[in-house]
Structure 1
Amino acid sequence: MTEFLVRHFIKDYKDVEKISVRTAYGVLASIVGIFCNVFLFIVKFIVGLVLHSVSVTADAFNNLSDAGSSIISFVGVKMAEKPADRDHPFGHGRIEYIAALIVSFLVLEVGFTFLKDSFSKIWTPETLNFQAVSVVILILSVAVKLWLGMFNRKLGQKIDSKVMMAVFTDSMGDVITTGATILSIVFFGVTGINIDGFVGVGVALVVMWAGVGIAKDTLEPLIGEAIDPEVYDQIKKFVESYDGIAGTHDLIVHNYGPGRSMASIHAEVPNDVDIGQSHEIIDRIEREASKQLGIFLVIHMDPVEMKDERVLRIREKVEKILKEMDPSCSIHDFRVVHGEAQSNLIFDMVIPIEYDEKTREELPVRLAERIKEADPRYECVITVDYDYVAKPEEGPEK
């Protein structure tokens, strides 16, 4: 069914890097979501009235809020498609995240409302009417919501959409809550004991938890999140694949909405190569990164020593000392300025950003001391850098 909908309603559905195609995926997901959730609301609301069940009614209004969420997502996706202008030179892609954040607040509001109603139901319970047909209808609604969740996950994975993955999570929460509602009705039918209010509390809490999860997922790219290791490796390998590039460091990626990223990276080039030649390579990489990776890439060129054996030996010695101190740290932009009485070692030291301030201040000092112990002629000029990649790091030696 998913492939059928995609192929018949999305033109150029394979070209997911295009903003227009991404928007079409978002619109399709929103329309399908509106239809499914309105249908489920009508069915569950009728069942809730027949059964006098607050948990079923809560579930129904949760679906109605999901339909409203799909409408907001539709508007957000369409607004995010707007091209860049004078006031917004990087486009309007982040509107999609803002729309998802609004959705999360709607979900939370529904959860809070029915949490209150469920507690009221616990204190003053109403008699439930058990009907097998109602249970069957709710089971069918679970099937619909499960399909809708999988539908959003498949589309979300295709276009790398946090919003669609959040909808998938929300749908799975709905599957759990409706399943709990079915359990309370069946339990009453078998035992005659009304646990509807207690199940309603559980339903409300799961709905609220889903709202918090959606808010977290959409706030992260708005605030600014660490680089995905796969994206880091992709860009790093792409740049380093060109002849004339000795290495890379200081990669930073800025997200301006799904499919809209800007990145900057330092590329190391041999210092004995003509600067014009290296600059030509850098320009070519930037152009081809835009075409092949869909990323606006800005490259800073760092000349590095590749042949001076004396400098290379000193660097190797410094790297060995640093590895003994803390293997999570590294160095780059290494230069040596020789003098009559001393040699200045000038380099950047990369320290994991999660280290506390005291550790970040102590590590460069300790490294400089260890280097001076190894050779009193060496004076270090160290600039501290941070690693912005989202990957676990080993802690420093204490």
Structure 2
Amino acid sequence: MQERYQNLKIAQRGVLLNITAYIVLTLLKLVVGQLSHSATLLADGSNNLTDIFSSCAIMVGLRLARRPPDEHHQYGHWKAETIATLLTSLIMLLVGLSVLYSSIRDLFLQESSIPDIHALFVGLFSGCVMYIIYLRNTKRAAAIHSEALAAIAKDSRNDAWTSFSTTAAIIGANFSMPWLDGLAALIIGLLILKTAYNIFSASAFSLSDGFDDDLLDEYTAAVQKIPGVELVHNIQGRSYGANIFIDIIIWVDPQMTVRQSHHITEKIESLLRRKYGVFDTDVHVEPWDIDYEPQQPNELNSH
């Protein structure tokens, strides 16, 4: 348990690095974008502005998730991280719509202008910075098994590619294609909306206790190899932040002693924790029904 809380602190430090970088780059892009008349750089800066709020929401969620279980939250506060991620997606949605509206207006009104060359260097510099942060946080997320930090890292990677696209658009705009700057801003707006939708879908799925059926199939196959387990009768999973909770019903020989069946449950808990990183496993033992006809895996795991 203590290790999980320590991992949350490590994830918070990774998010803090993102916030610091986003603040600096947002100010740089908005100022230079305004001075150089670059709609793409302004759109990119607006995207980073949402990332500041998003990262702050994740930071608050990680802090709340560190609270220990209490009378009203017996499973802990792990879902605070997921709720913060959901709020982040809504912020991104609003900004994405704003960027999309501005870019379409500029294209139809033909208000695009040729950006100054300084905007190019800002885009290139920002892309390099965010990609370095992406590599650093991805490595750290893999080491501590943090889904939140991994998501932040992927967002940094998207921002890096967006900045590189901004650079390409500014180059094109300086070669007698000024409309390319507005078009790139339109694409960035669509990317923001796509990212917001993906984050919202994943968060809503987790908060509604959705779980990956493929993982349940893996758990089922592994558990049924344990000696003494006649059949995995039912298995259900749910996530609390980065922590996985599994409820499983197994059938064993009716003549088996209580001590023997308890020993099997300990093996199951140990296996799922060691091999798959399952945080908590609740195993229920029932006597084997010889006349039972096994169901298909997708029917067995439905919940």
1:62-73 alignment, distance < 5 Å: 62-73=47-58
**Where does residue 260 of structure 2 map in the other structure?**
278
Q: Whose helix proportion is higher, 1 or 2?
A: 2
**Where does residue 185 of structure 2 map in the other structure?**
200
Higher relative contact order (CA 8 A, sep 6+): 2
Question: Hey, what's the Cα distance between the residues in 2 that align with 1:76 and 1:21?
Answer: 15
Residue 291 (structure 2) pairs with residue 386 (structure 1): no
Q: What is the one-letter code of the residue matched to 1:127?
A: S
Question: Hey, what's the Cα distance between the residues in 2 that align with 1:190 and 1:178?
Answer: 19
Provide the TM-score with structure 2 as the length reference. 0.87
Q: Whose strand proportion is higher, 1 or 2?
A: 1
**Where does residue 116 of structure 2 map in the other structure?**
130
Report the CA distance between 1:97 and its aligned residue.
0.5
Is the CA contact 1:55–1:197 (under 8 Å) kept in the aligned structure 2? yes
Provide the TM-score with structure 1 as the length reference. 0.67
Is the CA contact 1:41–1:64 (under 8 Å) kept in the aligned structure 2? yes
Question: Hey, what's the Cα distance between the residues in 1 that align with 2:212 and 2:195?
Answer: 25
Any stretches of 5+ residues in structure 2 without a counterpart? none
Is the CA contact 2:25–2:45 (under 8 Å) kept in the aligned structure 1? yes
Matched-pair identity in %: 21
Task: Sort the Cα spacing of 1:163 and 1:291 in 2 relative to 1 into closer, same or farther, 3 A.
Answer: closer
Is the CA contact 1:82–1:92 (under 8 Å) kept in the aligned structure 2? yes
Secondary structure of 1:70's match? helix
**Where does residue 350 of structure 1 map in the other structure?**
295
**Where does residue 301 of structure 1 map in the other structure?**
285
Any stretches of 5+ residues in structure 1 without a counterpart? 1-15, 305-332, 336-346, 354-384, 390-398
Q: What is the one-letter code of the residue matched to 1:65?
A: T
Question: Hey, what's the Cα distance between the residues in 2 that align with 1:287 and 1:212?
Answer: 35
Question: Hey, what's the Cα distance between the residues in 2 that align with 1:217 and 1:300?
Answer: 29
Secondary structure of 1:272's match? coil
**Where does residue 24 of structure 2 map in the other structure?**
39
Q: Deviations over 1:204-243 (max 9, x none)?
A: 11111111111122222112233464565357536743x5
Q: What is the one-letter code of the residue matched to 2:285?
A: M
Is the CA contact 2:124–2:167 (under 8 Å) kept in the aligned structure 1? yes
Q: What is the one-letter code of the residue matched to 1:264?
A: D
Task: Sort the Cα spacing of 1:352 and 1:234 in 2 relative to 1 into closer, same or farther, 3 A.
Answer: closer
Is the CA contact 1:264–1:299 (under 8 Å) kept in the aligned structure 2? yes
Question: Hey, what's the Cα distance between the residues in 2 that align with 1:66 and 1:202?
Answer: 17
Secondary structure of 2:69's match? coil
Report the CA distance between 1:302 and its aligned residue.
3.0
Question: Hey, what's the Cα distance between the residues in 2 that align with 1:192 and 1:251?
Answer: 58
Is the CA contact 1:139–1:182 (under 8 Å) kept in the aligned structure 2? yes
Report the CA distance between 1:268 and its aligned residue.
2.8
Residue 247 (structure 2) pairs with residue 251 (structure 1): no
Secondary structure of 2:155's match? helix
Task: Sort the Cα spacing of 1:254 and 1:192 in 2 relative to 1 into closer, same or farther, 3 A.
Answer: closer
Q: Deviations over 1:70-101 (max 9, x none)?
A: 11111110001111111111111011001011
Report the CA distance between 1:46 and its aligned residue.
2.0
Residue 148 (structure 2) pairs with residue 163 (structure 1): yes
